[in-house]
Chain A
Amino acid sequence: MSQDFPRDERPEGATAPEGTTFSRRHFLTSVGIAAGVVAAGVVPAALMAQSANAQDATATSSEPPVAPGASADPLAEIIAADGPANYPGHPVHYAKPAGKEKWAMVIDVRACVGCRKCVYACVEENNIGRNSGFTYIQVLEMEPGKIDLESAVLDYDEAGRPDKWYFPVQCMHCAHPPCVYGCPVQATWKEPDGIVLIDYNKCIGCRNCMITCPYGARHFNWVRPEVPAAEINPKVPLGEKAWTAEKCTFCVQRTRNGQTTACVEACPTGARKFGDLNDPNSDVAILLKTRRVWRLKEEYSTEPMIWYVG
């Protein structure tokens, strides 16, 4: 129910429950492959493309058409859905104002070896309390042949096992974020560039957002977070996070300053790509348009902004 709230306009038909086919359909229309292939899904695809165009004529009018007859930007609908929610009109106090970007991430689970380098880099970059007992990124060791979270192992010891695959999960910066809808005091919101942030000075510590997030992405500072003085990142809040909820910020202190996220930088296999969906030449835009991608719990209609490929 919560996804029905009107703060961020969702194009008609975007709730289609077909799950992962959603992104594939886009890929098909966009790249403009053989009409015969498109014909298989032509009716719903056409409907969706149409509504996306109608909604986003303004937002994406600068994009050049990808192929004759196809929609102007195959990602237009996704970009349009990723608008602000409960945004108070100014950026959260620890970040620069959002630019025109729509941030997204693509993670190649075939390349991920489960080494947790991203996890550690993130902890250091984001002043996560060394005593807090959580990390923003959780890497799951998965059984082959299925995306079965219930049989996944979170605290595995040995990385890189050939008989397993590895599945990094973190805040998805959902286009329709149940956490934002669930916060009773609007202490967390989605900024215009799609990043979901928390105002630590406003959070009342009720943990509703943790209850409503389907990805276990939010964590609570049950203790006052402590970081050795030499390792503190001055660009990221620390003390004010005590007794409030926190989570991945897409490294807002870096990404709004032209850098990429700490996890992307740290990944030794290049499994992580981060970028702007509005930029047709960004890794993420190209991957979404050319590869078969999927999202975790797509059937929840949260429209995550992290895709998986592999």
Chain B
Amino acid sequence: MAMTEPTTPQPGIKRFIKIDWNVGALKAASPRYWSWVGMLVIMTTLGVLAWVVVLTTGGNAMAQRDNFTWGMWFADYMFYVGLAAGGLVVYASVHLFGAEQFRPLSRLAVLMAGLLTMIALLGDLTDLVRVWRIFWFVVTPNISAIFVYTGSAAGFYMVLCFVDLWILVTGVGGEKLAFRMTLIALPVAIYLHTTTAFVLALNKSRELWNSAVMVPIFLTSAVASGVALLLICAYVLQHYHVLEFKKSMFRSLATLLATVIITDLFLLVVEIATVYWPTAAKAGHTLRFSEFMTGPYAVQFLPVLILGVIAFSLLAGRKTRHIPAIQITASALYVLAIFFKRYTLMSMGFAIGPLGQTQAPYIPSLVEALIAIGLLSMGMLFFTLAVKILPLRVPEEEHAEAGAWELAEATGEPVVEPGVAL
């Protein structure tokens, strides 16, 4: 189904790989825009330099040690992979469940998912001190190592997101192809989140990770933080007149967010109950968990609960849920809560080591922090440029077309697996 070809190209629009790149918008951009871009470029450069330090001097420049085997990068990997779920949810809602109110978000959501997965993967690479040997990953992958699955899933998902974005932006294949892509992207996304959770859950050596609830909790945290981030970005882009959204869309997002947050918190409480209930409590578990409830790690873990409860309370009231300030605050709190959660999850593997020795909390070194900030800046830089030059606005007529196609196809399509309860 051919999309509307631009008959009279506007000045400043360059056509390349079938996309109309709005290069003119960059030329017209305000000095504020450019100073923001400049700052991101500087931060990214600092990150690259920090990585060069790691590559030339070895891992000693990082604060990770034998006792804290993984650090910042791993917390970030879980965090970003989770945030990418926002894209999945919106995309799937539009193209599988016909949630038309989210359609204006679809391109933005896919773009964010792609970028977030990209920085998650790059974070992983920057941690490998012998990164140039990474080809072994392809030559002799070990089928029993979970990292092979999550790593390749992330790579595949990233590519998929960018292909998807291209399809959405160019309109190649129309709604039909977009729908088919969803059928691929959705299972891949779930696979990515599951395998990432499996890195923790399938490891018997780290008591607090080795829990089956890790997988559903990973999915709920991912969806909650992803939707929250999307909501924030949508408001930001609306503020800068890049995109416009209906109020009802934000309300739908907020309701979805509240539902997922409470599910997420519920699962966490279930896990805590299993650790502490007298008939279930095992010394190794309770001792380790207590480090996070009352010990030196409580500053990492209690914010997860506190911020989570506040975020939910803000969104729980029907009367206030539609207020933008409330939505934004709750979303920001929950994104922050999930960051703390990822950081604690990382720490939970190491707070008390396999030989029972208690470790002081890990704080990333300057080099690690710069790498992390550099990667985030890089993601934001690409995002900032993309929202200017990519046609992220979903044309009105696409709604009508899509509706018509859905009606025609609805009866013929098989029932989609109810994998994600949205």
Task: Tell me whether A186 and B356 are in contact (CB under 8 A).
Answer: no
Q: Give A85 to B143 CA distance when docked, in angstroms.
A: 12
Contact bitstring B116-142, A, C-beta under 8 A = 1, else 0: 000000000001111101101101111
The proximity string for A residues 184-198 relative to B, scoring 1 for CB distances below 8 Å and 0 otherwise, is 111100000000000
B238 within 8 A of A: no
A214 — which chain B residues lie within 8 A by C-beta?
204-205, 354
Output the nearest chain A residue to B134 by Cβ-Cβ distance. Answer: A204
8 Å CB contact of B136 from A152, A202, A211:
A202
| Cβ B133 vs Cβ A203 within 8 A | yes
> Which of chain A's residues have a CB closer than 8 A to the CB of B308?
none
B130 touches A203 (CB 8 A): yes
CA distance A184 to B284 in the complex (A): 28
Interface residue? A157 (CB, 8 A)? no
How many residues from B make CB contacts under 8 Å with A? 44
At the interface, yes or no: B145 with Cβ under 8 Å from chain A? yes
Q: Which residues of B35-72 are within 8 A (CB) of A? A: 58-60, 62, 64-66, 69-70
Q: A149-B355, A204-B131, A213-B205 are in contact. Are A134 and B284 (CB under 8 A)?
A: no
In the assembled complex, A215 has its CB within 8 A of some CB on chain B? yes
Separation of A242 and B142 alpha carbons in the complex (Å): 23
Q: Are A210 and B69 in contact (CB under 8 A)?
A: yes
Within 8 A of A (CB), among B277-312: 283-284, 287
Chain B residue with Cβ nearest A213: B205
Say yes or no: B355 contacts A220, CB within 8 Å.
no
A244 to B131, CA, bound (A): 11
Whether A211 touches B144, Cβ cut-off 8 Å, given contacts A2-B202, A202-B133, A205-B130, is no
Chain B residue nearest in CB terms to A86: B142
In the complex, what distance in Å separates the CA atom of A261 from the CA atom of B205? Answer: 27
Whether B130 and A138, one on each chain, are in contact in the complex, defined by CB atoms closer than 8 angstroms, is no
Asked whether B357 is an interface residue with its Cβ less than 8 Å from the other chain, the reply is yes
Asked whether A1 is an interface residue with its Cβ less than 8 Å from the other chain, the reply is yes
- Nearest-neighbor residue (CB-CB) of A131 within chain B: B60
- Nearest to A154 among chain B residues (CB) is B357
B103 partner residues in chain A, CB cutoff 8 A = none
**Shortest distance between the CB of A83 and any CB in chain B (Å):** 15
B216 at the interface (CB under 8 A from A): no
B354 and A215 form a contact (CB under 8 A) = yes
Q: What is the chain B residue whose CB lies nearest that of A185?
A: B136
Contact (A211, B70) CB under 8 Å given A149-B355, A185-B140, A222-B60 = yes
Bound Cα distance from A302 to B24, whole angstroms: 63
25 pairs across A/B with beta carbons < 8 Å?
A: A2-B204, A148-B283, A150-B287, A150-B352, A150-B356, A152-B356, A184-B147, A185-B136, A185-B139, A186-B136, A186-B140, A187-B136, A206-B127, A206-B128, A208-B145, A211-B69, A211-B70, A212-B203, A216-B353, A216-B357, A220-B66, A222-B58, A224-B58, A243-B58, A300-B204
The 8 closest A-B pairs by CB, nearest first: A149-B356, A185-B136, A205-B129, A214-B205, A150-B356, A205-B130, A184-B145, A181-B144
